[in-house]
Amino acid sequence: QGAEAEESGSDLLLQLGSCRAAGWAACRRQAGWVRSCPVIRFPALRRLSLSLLPEITDASLVAVARGCQSLEQLSMSHCGKLTDKGFLEAASSLRRLQHLVISGCSQLTRQTLMAISRECRQLKSLDVSMCHGISMADIELFQAQLPLQTCVQSRFVGGADLSFTL
C-alpha cells in the first residue's frame, strides 16, 4: 500500500505540471513523493508550501529548487530535517525567491542565511522564527547584504521576540 501512495503522489505531481501554487501540508499520507521523486518539474510554480512535513530533507529541497525555478514564495516551516547543506546546494536555483519561511527549522544556521543572501537577491521577506541556530547578529548581517529586504520575522531567535521592518 505504501508503494501505491508513492505512485499516486507521483501521478499527482505529473498532473500539476502547469500549477502556479501548491500546498502539501494536508497531504501527509503522500509526503513520500517528495523524498522518492528524483525529478520534480514545475517550471510555472510560483508559490509552494511544504510546511509541517517532517519528511522533507535536504535532497527534497534540492529537487524542488531545481525543478521549480520560478518559485517566488516558499514555506518550509517546521521541516526539522533541513540543514545548511540543503540550502547551500539549493539556493542557486531559487534566484526568483521573494518570500521565504523557514521558521522552526532548528538545524539551520548562519550558513543558510549567507547562501540565501548570496543567491536570492530578490528576497523581500524572511521568517526565521524559532531557528535556534541563527543569532540576531546573523540576521543583522543578512539584512545588510540584501538591498530589497523589507521584513525579517525573527521571533524567539537568541531569546528575543522581534520583527524587523526596513
CATH number at residue 158: 3.80.10.10
Give the largest CA-CA distance in the chain. Answer: 51
Residue 12: HSE in the Cβ half-sphere, 13 Å Cα cutoff: 16
pLDDT at 155 over 80: no
Give 138 or 146, the one with higher predicted confidence. 138
In 3D, which of 44, 52, 45, 109 has the Cα closest to residue 75? 52
Q: What is the pLDDT of residues 75-121, one digit of tens each?
A: 999 999 999 999 999 999 999 999 999 999 999 999 999 999 999 99
Question: Is residue 40 predicted with pLDDT exceeding 80?
Answer: no
Q: In terms of residue numbers, what domain contains 36?
A: 2-165
Q: How many domains does the chain have?
A: 1
